[in-house]
Chains A and B, each alone.
Chain A
Amino acid sequence: MITGSGILKGLWTTFRHFIKTYLEDIRSGKKRYFTAEGIEMRRSPDVEGIFTIQYPEEKLPVPEEFRYIPFLVYDEGENGEKEIRCTSCGICAKVCPPQCIWIVRTTDPQTGKPIPQPKEFYIDVDICMNCGFCAEFCPFDAIKMDHDYEIASYDRIKEHIFDLERLSKPASYYAQIRPANFAREEAARAEKEAQKAAARKANP
């Protein structure tokens, strides 16, 4: 083999890569950049040429299972009141690997018995490792992983402990970011309700 042919081969490869981007640009016209279609095109297994996404002008759509900081789901009542699903059972706080979840359970002031609702709920997002265990093991579908990954702030000490207010998001938001999961859970819940109703009818 001639000395230098290996280097030439390598340069040919880089040249091809260089040219391909332009060819792709010409072939797909303007839609290759800054359109949803273009982003989809640039992340498919058939993509050729450079496929950098120009963040923040362009954003990669995240898949349904994508998980970031958890949030608490609430159902909206008839008058727009928030019916938080959390019963403060504490499973999420127990399963959390870095122990970033803090829950204060509500107690009845008269009897001192616990009421299934969180009085306070905190997540220290500096400590959260986004593992998703809380969402995975919550028996009430009350805590779910978010898709919003742009949560940078200026004050680490004040703003990085999320409280109940900041954590609560409506079920409609959940349905929007995780449609398949939401549909599956709703179906399971409806089935359970039906079973309960049937059982009640059978022995009133």
Chain B
Amino acid sequence: MSEQTGFQQVEILEKFPETLKPDTRPGYSGYIVEPQQLVEVARALRDEFGYDYLSSVTGVDYLPENKMEVVYHFFRTTGGPAFVLKTQVNRDEAIVPSLTPLYPGAEFQEREAWDLLGIRFENHPDLRRILTWEGFHGHPLRKDWKEPFFEEEAKPYKSRWPEGHVYRVEDKNPFHDNVQYPPGFDPEQWSPETDELLYAGLKRVDKSDDLLTEQVVVNLGPQHPSTHGVFRMVAVLDGETIVDLKPIMGYLHRNHEKIGERNTFLQNMPFTDRLDYVCSMSNNFGYALAVEKLMGIQPPERAEYIRVLMAELTRFLNHIFSIGFLLNDLGAFFTPMLYALEERELILDVFEAVSGSRMMCNYFRFGGVARDIPDEVMEKIRKLVFDRLPRKLDEMDYFITNNEIVRGRCEGVGVLTAERAIALSASGPVLRASGVGYDVRRADPYSIYDRFEFDIPVRYNGDIYDRYLLRLDEMRQSLRILQQVLRDIPEGPIMNGKPQYQVRVPAGESYGRVEGPKGELGFYVVSNGKPNPWRYHVRAPTFINLTSLAEMCRGQKIADVVTILGSIDIVLGEVDR
């Protein structure tokens, strides 16, 4: 496949010999294009060369060179490696043409880049802050922005050792509260004008008949039990029908990426657990891959098998959990959920015995995993994988699949077509339930996934019911992989070399991506040879899957919104980062 892609890349270069300049910085790859030509190149990539999937859009602040760089990762849904495109602008007037008209999936990612890095995207339909609040001061991922309680540019902090006289950081703040207000700002006097702007940005329908009706704006959330966390949707209703809808997030925002840039490479590992806290093992996997790519190391054989074992167990527990939650959203209050939680509990016991923690596993290390699996735990995994989980999965299938209420509520609701799913950069079960068989494990194999025999399930209706069925299919495939892993797992070391707390990462960039249970989870890491990353970006699958929420909801009833959101399977820890 890579040969073919190489051929394709030559063709692209022939078409734009002047515009595309190879990125020659050591450790970097891809091509640099002037902002004026960006749209032209992207259009050609999409329409002529088949790079129909814009996976990741992010910015990097190169403060010493006074440059702001926007990095695009294009993929083809037929598989193969990335086409990396970059454009550089002056930091002080960072204006880049928006790719949202071409790739609607860039919408939220460009808003995020505007919010956190202050890159203005021209022609973006709705360029507002997305993760921080409306009155936020500055753009936090810029290198010259300092957070409240700022101590030093990079950890470890000098105040901790050898003269580590303890103090509580809150005691230093005159407000005794973790808030920094811009000058002249009084929180008591402030009311969100931007909400009015937001409401004005929503679409309405023209009513030409004589009936006097009014369209209402309804806020679902942020405090609403169905939103799986703190998440808000603003919907315009015509009667009961959704005319337009916008998701509003960021209530759980903690600037994960800024924290990541202060941390050393290894210190980031436990922080990745807290992204999608249901599947911390998958998050570890993606981050470990990205940094290992930079370091140029490979984990030993047994560690590779353990990694796949953990990742697939995670996929199983996430899917069964999300099916349970979906039923909750449908009104089957907690009975299916608890059946799902029972199985999850047993898998979490395994994680706890292996990694020391049920959810915040922090199990992967660069070049291996933290510790070996004890024999008795291996025995337990065998029992689960060969006996209990397949049985319980069939029971779940029998329990739910043909239930008339489930079918009535889910079939034909929240439809996303294949073309729109690709255009909106949906990934994971949402994409595959719409008829696109795109799975990173097969399209761009990582780790040792090329050794196992498994299918990529695809469903074609793109509705909630198909997303549910697809998750069942994927769990079956995960069990298939797990059975092969348990059959083949070799003995041997689990770590490449001696465990080190200060890893040496050469300068360069890398994009490590895994097929997480919720979709394509990517980590874009830039190193400048120092102990901590220069840039650390997470391509969060559920954040980007939410781009298609409005599309799925339009024309549906208000009562179905909750279920549609449940079928995307979001985790706010990852959406808000």
Question: Do A and B come from the same complex?
Answer: yes
| A residues with CB within 8 A of B | 1, 3-7, 9-10, 13-14, 17, 43-46, 51, 62-67, 88, 90-91, 93-97, 99, 101-105, 114, 120, 122, 124, 129-133, 136-137, 145, 157, 161
Distance in Å: Cβ of B465 to nearest Cβ of chain A: 13
- A61 vs B354: C-alpha distance when bound (angstroms): 15
Are A93 and B161 closer than 8 Å at their CB atoms? Answer: yes
Asked whether A7 and B270 contact (CB < 8 A) given A94-B501, A95-B501, A124-B166, the answer is no
Are A90 and B399 closer than 8 Å at their CB atoms? Answer: no
Surface stretch bound by A, among B179-187, B355-363, B486-494: B355-363
Interface residues in B376-424 (C-beta closer than 8 Å to A): 380, 383-384, 387-388, 395, 398-407
Asked whether A7 and B404 contact (CB < 8 A) given A93-B161, A120-B165, the answer is yes
- A43 vs B356: C-alpha distance when bound (angstroms): 17
- A114 vs B161: C-alpha distance when bound (angstroms): 12
- Note all chain B residues with C-beta closer than 8 A to A64: 353
| B residues with CB within 8 A of A | 155-157, 159-166, 168, 263, 266-271, 335, 339, 342, 345-346, 349, 352-357, 360, 362, 370-371, 380, 383-384, 387-388, 395, 398-407, 499, 501-502
Contact of A9 among B156, B399, B407 (CB under 8 A): B399
- Note all chain A residues with C-beta closer than 8 A to B401: 6
Contact of A45 among B267, B271, B387 (CB under 8 A): B387
Are B156 and A45 closer than 8 Å at their CB atoms? Answer: no
Which partner residue on chain B sits nearest A62 by CB separation?
B352
- A40 vs B261: C-alpha distance when bound (angstroms): 44
The secondary structure that dominates the A interface is mixed
- Note all chain A residues with C-beta closer than 8 A to B499: 136-137
Are B501 and A93 closer than 8 Å at their CB atoms? Answer: no
- Note all chain B residues with C-beta closer than 8 A to A66: 352, 356-357
Asked whether A95 and B383 contact (CB < 8 A) given A13-B395, A102-B166, A157-B168, the answer is no
- A90 vs B155: C-alpha distance when bound (angstroms): 13
Asked whether A45 and B346 contact (CB < 8 A) given A97-B263, A131-B270, the answer is yes
Which partner residue on chain B sits nearest A14 by CB separation?
B335
Contact of A131 among B166, B362, B384, B404 (CB under 8 A): B362
Are A17 and B402 closer than 8 Å at their CB atoms? Answer: no
Are A133 and B168 closer than 8 Å at their CB atoms? Answer: no
Which partner residue on chain B sits nearest A138 by CB separation?
B501
Asked whether A93 and B165 contact (CB < 8 A) given A46-B383, A46-B388, the answer is no
Which partner residue on chain B sits nearest A1 by CB separation?
B402
- Note all chain A residues with C-beta closer than 8 A to B362: 131-133
- Note all chain B residues with C-beta closer than 8 A to A95: 156, 266-267, 501
- Note all chain A residues with C-beta closer than 8 A to B406: 6
Beyond A13-B395, A51-B345: 20 further Cβ-contacts under 8 Å? A1-B402, A6-B401, A6-B404, A7-B403, A7-B405, A10-B403, A44-B380, A45-B388, A67-B357, A90-B162, A91-B501, A95-B266, A97-B155, A99-B155, A99-B156, A102-B161, A103-B162, A104-B162, A130-B360, A133-B270
